[in-house]
Amino acid sequence: MKGWISKLRTLSLFAFMVLILSACGKENLTSLVPKGYGAEQSFNVMIISILVMIIVFVVVMAIYLYVILRFRRKKGQEDDIPKQTEGNKTLETIWTIIPIILLIVIAVPTITATYDLADTSDQEDAININVQGEQFWWHFEYANEGLQASQDLYIPTGEKVYLNMESTDVIHSFWLPSISGKMDVNPENENSMYIEAYEEGVYWGKCTEFCGSSHSLMDFKVIAVSPEEYNQWVEDMKGTSEQSTPETTTAQEGQELFSNNCLQCHATDANQPSAGPNLANFGDRTTIAGVLDYNKEELVNWITNPAEQKPANGMLDAPYLEEGHIGNEEAEKIADYLMQLQPSEITPESAK
């Protein structure tokens, strides 16, 4: 019986190690494979604290197991009265002092990294982006260029990009695990943080402050491209306009429908602020509404029935839903229009 249990224990422990080692999580989402400055700083502190903790854990468990095995009452000892020890000054001093030292080992790098991550000395010369959290999507305004973008944020690799974040409704939190730790997006004050991606890639970001019905669907992406590609992307986006005519007729009809029904809130011109998400490069989006697969079918579904995919989202107030004159056919035309909005050659593909 005993041996069986211990075998089982070893086996489950082994299985666990395999699980941990083989799966650090999805690439570009997990914080365990840092690919940016902030995530790396956090990861270093994490590793130091885990190492210290494992050492202490081993000591505690060694004493624990020894005590249980050695001092369990055996047959014939029922009437034994153990010595009633009051305490031991030396021992007690040891286990007060050593933890203090160990905590200092953790505290010093913690404080260093905390100050480092809050450093804003070079903010003025860096790329500044005004981030706006809204139930349940993200808006990014390139402060220097006046460019608007939603859901997908393009940044250059290898440099600090400052995010100045504020919410328009409830509190959200901007988290990009592979690149950087999180920062709350508050409605009453602006919070600043910076991100720096080491390598090109499409990184998953998530909202981490409980913000309502679709909190779990408030994803965004950060697309890190080379600085040259980034500059080109900015130029291309500056050239977007609502006037540009699509090639196919269905898309042209879609544009007409879009102008009549969607343009009150959305914009397809990246220079144009809008109440709803800016769709200027919708054709290059990684996902629809932050979480849905990018294809026409999903887009039509989303346009005709947004409540199902993302409960309580802002689209539900759109007049076209109530008036009911956007059926599948119309939605497909709008989808054709939106999916051909590809103003730049720099797309998520460029980041791979």
Partner 1 sequence: MSTMVANQKGFGAKIWDYLTTVDHKKIAILYLVAGGFFFLIGGLEALAIRWQLVEPMNDFVSSGFYNELITMHGTTMIFLAAMPLIFAFMNAVVPLQIGARDVAFPFLNSLGFWLFLFGGIMLNVGWFTGGAADAGWTAYAPLSTTSPGEGVDYYVLGLQISGAGTLIGGINFLVTIVNMRAPGMTYMRMPLFTWTAFVASALILFAFPALTVGLFLMMFDRLFDSGFFDPSMGGNSVIWQHLFWIFGHPEVYILVLPAFGIFSEIFSTFSKKRLFGYTAMVFATVLIAFFGFMVWAHHMFTVGLGPAANSIFAVATMAIAVPTGIKIFNWLFTLWGGSITINTPMLWGLGFIPTFTVGGFTGVMLAAAAADFQYHDTYFVVAHFHYVIVGGVVFGLIAGTHYWWPKMFGKVLNDKLGKVTFWLFFTGFHLTFFIQHFLGLMGMPRRYWVYLEDQGLNLGNMISTIGALLMGVGTIVLLYNIVVTSIKGEKVSGDPWDGRTLEWAIPSPPPHYNFKQTPLVRGLDPLWVEKSEGRKGITPAEPLDDIHMPNGSILPFIMSLGLFIAGFGFIYQKYDLSWLIVLFIGMGITLGAMLTRSLKDDLGHHIHKEDLEKEEAGE
Within residues 123-182, the interface with partner 1 by CB under 8 A covers 169-171, 173, 175, 177, 180-182
Cβ(98)–Cβ(56) under 8 Å? no
Query: Per the structure block, which two tokens stand in for 182?
Result: 């999180």
| Residues linked to residue 127 through DSSP beta bridges, in sequence order | 161
Does residue 191 interact with partner 1 by CB under 8 A? yes
Least CB distance from residue 219 to partner 1, whole Å?
A: 8
100's enclosing H/E stretch is: helix 89-117
Least CB distance from residue 7 to partner 1, whole Å?
A: 16
Q: How far apart are CA 90 and CA 82, in angstroms?
A: 21
Q: Which of residues 64-83 bind partner 1 (CB under 8 A)?
A: 64, 67-68, 71-73, 77, 80-83
Does residue 204 interact with partner 1 by CB under 8 A? yes
Among 2, 3, 75, 91, which residue sits at the site for partner 1 (rule: CB under 8 A)? 91
Does residue 51 interact with partner 1 by CB under 8 A? no
What is the identity of the amino acid at 216? S
Pattern 215-254, binding to partner 1, x per CB under 8 A?
A: xxx-x-----------------------------------
Q: How far apart are CA 289 and CA 267, in angstroms?
A: 15
Pattern 305-344, binding to partner 1, x per CB under 8 A?
A: ------xx--------------------------------
- Give the phi and the psi of residue 37 in degrees, each rounded to 5: -65, -50
Cβ(34)–Cβ(196) under 8 Å? no
Closer of 217 and 280 to partner 1 (Cβ):
217
Least CB distance from residue 224 to partner 1, whole Å?
A: 17
Does residue 90 interact with partner 1 by CB under 8 A? no
Least CB distance from residue 139 to partner 1, whole Å?
A: 18
Contacts of 240 (CB under 8 A, 6+ apart): 268, 269, 270, 271, 280, 281, 343
Piece of the chain touching partner 1 by CB under 8 A; list 46-54, 238-246, 264-272, 337-345: 46-54
Does residue 261 interact with partner 1 by CB under 8 A? no
In eight-state DSSP terms, residue 351 is G
Strands 201-207 and 220-225: antiparallel
Q: How many residues sit in the footprint of partner 1 (CB under 8 A)?
A: 92
Piece of the chain touching partner 1 by CB under 8 A; list 98-106, 126-134, 258-266, 332-340: 98-106
Piece of the chain touching partner 1 by CB under 8 A; list 16-24, 254-262, 294-302, 316-324: 16-24
- DSSP three-state, residue 106: helix
Piece of the chain touching partner 1 by CB under 8 A; list 99-107, 263-271, 273-281, 296-304: 99-107
| Side-by-side strand order, sheet with 127-134 | 147-150, 137-142, 127-134, 161-167, 191-195
Query: Per the structure block, which two tokens stand in for 146?
Result: 């006046």
Closest CA to 143 of 159, 122, 165, 158: 165
